[in-house]
Structure 1
Amino acid sequence: MSTEKVRSSKLKFKGEKTKKKRKREDDGETSGHRRAEDDEDPDTWVLPEDPAEIRGPTFIVHPSDPSAISVNFDSTRNRIILHTLSKEVTSEGPSLLERTPTEVAQVWVTTRVAGSPTINLRTGTGEGKFMSCDKHGLVSADREARGPEEEWTPVVLPDGMVAFMNVYEKYLSVDEVAGGTLQLRGDSEDVGFRERFWVKIQSKYKKEAHEEKKKREGVSDVVSIDEASTNRLHQAWGAGRSVISKEDRRELKRARKEGRLAEALLDRRAKLKSDRFC
């Protein structure tokens, strides 16, 4: 068996800083920790579980037969091409779901407006063109500006695969044209085999989506209503000062001692409303 060291094929982007890893003793106790650290690597390619997680560098693969294909952008010819993945997908090699991009042409950059269900797919090479689809179903990546035809709505299916719906409510698909050539189309009415893609994103962007979701849910869960403060702020006059008469003050003081302050406040509010409109 050859003992030649295999060079990592991990894809790196221009300007990305290389993180130094600490050296550890190679023993049984630390191997589990190293494996856990590898799983938590922010650059690990993972499958999204929610449409909101699809963001950042994105790898799109279709399980075509006999060979799977990736959606690439050829910056030389300025066009989208469906690239046949190498024959490494065997019983001895990585499975299709374990495949990761090995060249920048296979990577798209997904962006979205905060809170919007739609995304934009921009090329990772060249000048950064957006994938678009016109009303005839023609898919291209030659536009520098974003508009309705550059918007896609990702739909995560129960099996983890993803379908992309365009602004015309049609789906992105892989279509075979004359000569057996494969190309992308955007005019499918339903989601079948041709419309289903495996999508991989980087772990750090999936985590980012989770953090945003927690913040949104946390705000709605933590908010509590302080009735006295709310009434003071929104129902008082004089810059929030409670202006009451001596008689009302005595009545409220008595109600507080008797444990019926809330009822007294509501009675006073109703009285003020009736006086205002009389």
Structure 2
Amino acid sequence: MVSKLVFKGDKPKKKKKASVKSDSWRVSKAASGESTSHPELAVTNEGWVTAKNLSELKGPVVLAFKDEDNPVVIASDLNGKLYLSSDIDITGSKSIDIEPRTVQQVFVLSKLDFRGTDTSALDEPTVNNEFSFKNSEGTYLTSPIEPPLHCKAVSIGQDQIFTLTALESGGWSLQTSRKAFLGFQKDDSEIGFKLVYSDTVGFSETWILRVQAQYARLHNSSSRTTSSSERISSKVLEERAGRKLTPSEISSLKLAYKQGRLNEALLDIRQRSRSDNMC
């Protein structure tokens, strides 16, 4: 019997509900004691949460369909062949509260920072939301011109790049480098689905990304720290300006402080004050 997939440092917790369906690929390296080729899979076992923003997308991730009747995840076998697995744990009140049972259901998500951001426009740079997915064998999720997808590439090229976009419905879209969206389609197979490409995003192209709780917690902690550090009092601003400020000037300076250009904004105010005094 294969035990539940356990990550390093995990705390035991009670399962509210479980859905276990066997499939022919049920193999757990963690249970057998066999080491994985990707050490990042041996991380904390503090539970999994649904990713809601790009900052939470890092480290181990589970790719699941947003289907409450038949929750299924993408998995990769030892040879890099992709398959769909329903052999999962449901740990919450919703069917999307999924936790993996084998390392083959877990990918390591990496943001492709080397791709850079678009700074050609005058407004704020475009957010980089391109990622790669590496399986437990150290090979990459690949989207060829035509399905089926596989996980056999040993390096990152165009076919290994996926653009992840948060949807208003609460899920994510996965777009290939050829602008096709990864989706699922019902079929007559035992699992009931197959992976397909689509030109548009709808229910069948909506994915749930389950990440480890530690990364969501780090994001929330960082957001609170940043929010606190971006506050500056009106009194401090007036001391630095050397005079009483109007409400509009205070608002302008607080915005400048958040954007990291407070000194320039204070200089502008001082110059305007000198000009007014000379008139």
> Do they fold alike, i.e. is TM over 0.5?
yes
2:87 and 2:101 in contact (8 A); partners too: no
Query: Deviation of residue 116 (structure 1)?
Result: 2.3
Alpha-carbon distance between aligned partners in 2 of 1:145 and 1:118, rounded to the nearest angstrom: 15
2-side partners of 1:205 and 1:260: how far apart?
46
Does structure 1 conserve the Cα–Cα contact (< 8 Å) formed by 2:9 and 2:46? no
C-alpha distance after superposition, 1:11-69 (max 9, x if no partner) = 31xxx34679xxxxxxxxxxxxxxxxxxxx98321111113322211111114586321
The answer for the alignment partner of 1:192 in structure 2 is 202
- Provide closer, same or farther for how the CA distance between residues 180 and 9 of structure 1 changes in structure 2, counting only shifts above 3 A: closer
Equivalent position of 2:86 in the other structure: 84
Cα distance change of structure 1 residues 137 and 212 upon mapping to structure 2, 3 Å threshold: farther
Superposition RMSD in Å: 4.0
Q: Distance in 1 between matches of 2:129 and 2:77?
A: 28
Q: Secondary structure at the match of 1:191?
A: coil
Q: Distance between the aligned counterparts of 1:70 and 1:48, measured in 2?
A: 15
Q: C-alpha displacement at 1:211, in angstroms?
A: 5.4
Structure 1 length-normalised TM: 0.59
Aligned pair partner of 2:132 in 120, 140, 154: 120
Match status 1:183 vs 2:182: no
1:61 corresponds to = 64
The answer for the alignment partner of 1:262 in structure 2 is 274
Larger helix proportion, structure 1 or 2? 1
**Corresponding residue to 1:224 among 251, 262, 279:** 262
- 1:130 and 2:127 are equivalent in the alignment: no
The AA in structure 2 aligned to 1:189 is D
CA offsets per residue over residues 215-254 of structure 1, 9 Å max, x none?
5994744541257989xxxxxxxxxxxxxxxxxxxxxxxx
Look up the SS of the partner of 2:46 in the other structure: coil
Tell me which residue corresponds to 1:11: 6
What secondary structure, in the 3-state scheme, does the structure 2 residue paired with 1:225 have?
helix
Q: Scaled by the length of structure 2, what TM-score is found?
A: 0.58
In 1, the alpha carbon distance for the partners of 2:9 and 2:45 equals 13
Larger mean Cα displacement after TM superposition, 200-209 or 147-156: 200-209
Retained in 2: the 8 A contact 1:48–1:160?
no
1:10, distance to aligned residue in structure 2 (A): 5.9
Return the alpha-carbon distance in structure 2 between the equivalents of residues 174 and 260 of structure 1: 61
Structure 1 regions of 5+ residues with no counterpart? 1-7, 21-40, 231-255, 267-278
Does the 8 Å CA contact 1:133/1:139 hold for their aligned counterparts?
yes
CA 66–208 in structure 1, closer or farther in 2 if over 3 Å, else same:
closer
| 1:44 is aligned to 2:47 | yes
CA positional deviation for 1:139? 1.5
Alignment-mate amino acid for residue 224 of structure 1 = L
1:208 maps onto 2:218 in alignment: yes
AA aligned to 1:131 is L
Query: 1:97 corresponds to which letter in structure 2?
Result: I
2:129, 2:165 within 8 Å by CA — same for their partners in 1?
A: no
For residue 206 of structure 1, what is the amino acid of its counterpart? A
**Is the contact made by 1:47 and 1:160 (CA closer than 8 Å) also made in structure 2?**
no
Structure number with greater Rg is 1
Q: Secondary structure at the match of 1:49?
A: coil
Unaligned runs of 5+ in 2: 13-43, 114-126, 231-256
In structure 2, the residue matched to 1:34 is none
Distance 1:93 1:133, change over 3 A: closer
SS state of the match for residue 262, structure 1? helix
CA distance in 2, matches of 1:10, 1:223: 49
Partner of 1:276: none
Q: 1:212 to 1:223 in 2, by over 3 A?
A: farther
Provide closer, same or farther for how the CA distance between residues 110 and 93 of structure 1 changes in structure 2, counting only shifts above 3 A: closer
1:46 and 1:64 mapped to 2: Cα distance? 17
Q: Is the 8 A contact 1:11 1:104 kept in 2?
A: no
